[in-house]
Structure 1
């Protein structure tokens, strides 16, 4: 395993005075529990009183017997303030809520002996979590319950993905958990209503792809279409939303085109970003092709900044990976916040370095043939001194 990998986390204390004051305010103004109201109605009433927060997704509902659980996956964004609230029906006297990270570790919970649990916290890292509701005491007919997940409307992103980078981060976390890697460079631009642009992309036969588009807050509807070398549309997302995702499995290796179409832009022009992800056999981080066996693969979501080591006034994080002669190390580093610089160092004089991979200053990539058994060190740093921010590092060993 390579050192430094940490589970996406939650600050376990009430992280800001604003959240605490809001919680006290909600205790005073939130509607009292009424038997005529459904649990879903009570969640909506709580939301109405929670100024500065917005419901994320749909209200989760279900029916549980005593001792049963209901689990729901959720993706949280680093720095976002969140609230999760549960209500249950008449006769239900004890309902608990808990939040678990991707390793199954409990990171936040409300297990007080009441039927209205509330979680309030700030996420320390972007990642996938599980919200679990547990019916502790129910009548024989069971407990009808509802759970609402809310994010703050304040920066830096309490509504996950409020900005374009945040939305792509949310999608990337989910896709990478399914074995996808980001390939190529993100494409950025701007379009007016009813304008479109064609972007080239090379797809390899047998690989499964996801093309993801996002646009700014003034954009309400963005479409994506994938066009084959013959000019035929092979896949598209034309739903009325601002987060199109196109799925396609390439049956031949060829140069395709991604059509980006601006359908509804409130304040012209609207900015957009498009990223591509792929998975398949013999594919490593960053879309690198390899022969042999994938021996090790890890994804790390990190934060470069004060508290890290410093080398020539640049922040530095170091990870370890074991490799043997004849194997290859593939490392891929991406950040929206700083100009990335990636190094791999090993026994003796073994070293490799990459600043900008392609045309993206926020992307560095290394493929290194190992000549000597031992421990290799992957250095994540920035090209500019004292630059800081979030990053995603993928490391693989193949052979």
Structure 2
């Protein structure tokens, strides 16, 4: 089952923002503004997945794939009104990301309808990045062409593995032979491409993972994401592991596979720019995901979708039926919201900045208003030196410069393996 939503404070039916958020909005005018559109439909629920997704049998009355596009457009119209009422700065969308679920279970024309509404309501920044995730079995040359003509610029294919027995363990039903076909269709339509992979599944050998990486690299996508499998409580896979039907996840095995990932992808010309993400250059990084890691703002549309604006987060009701009902009534589909306190703000800042290749600007971190106000303490030179001495941080980046007077903390390969531990140490 999908994971539970956090609690938070209730969202007013009109979606209005607290006074402190409204006061902070002008200072955010220079930051990118993105849109995430959640498409919650899947043909089959994968055993490891705890995302907010639903098969046809799960939907029940009050929600359908056919009516969903118009419902999402209704939320986008609500978003536009809410931002205008709050006197939010007019920011065109720099990125749009359709995720799921399986967005391409909807006809390409439906996705295009939502995208056109977003453009009409918010406008697009020059060179806006527009991505949709896709299952390789759910796209054709014709459907990809429709997406490209509608303004999509990027297709992110859920490859996961090239090895049939690994796909079976993950409950992935797509034909691995359809990955190169779908990738070629995206290329022919002029789209950038990304392949999503998962490593560390029970029963996956190092040789299996190497085969998946080599298969992905042979297609020469612009971007590759390689995520370690996380087994969440409440999923079918967690129950299988608990019953002894599958082996538990081995952190040492996952570390070995990450090291192999970095070696093979680096040799093929891919550069890491976030712990789990590699691109063929700066221009083909996922700018939408960078918005998340760099404290930008975005509106999340769809059931269970999360949004962020000026330090406030909110999230929508989970199930498509009550979500649709609220949108149809013209009230906020929001379920709860929170404004991060000083401690949470600092911890998140550390966690996200340390995950990206640009690293953590120490002087910028020490200048955060929350430092010394219950959110943490400044990072001292000795803290940086310790990380360098332990080969967890890059020595060259740590040196002070005119641009970075206290240096940066950029994780080494070993540091990336221990990113959470480094975050906890600096937050202590």
**TM-score, normalising length from structure 2?**
0.26
Highest RCO, 1 vs 2 (Cα 8 Å, sep ≥ 6): 2
Query: Over alpha carbons, which structure has the higher Rg?
Result: 1
**TM-score, normalising length from structure 1?**
0.27
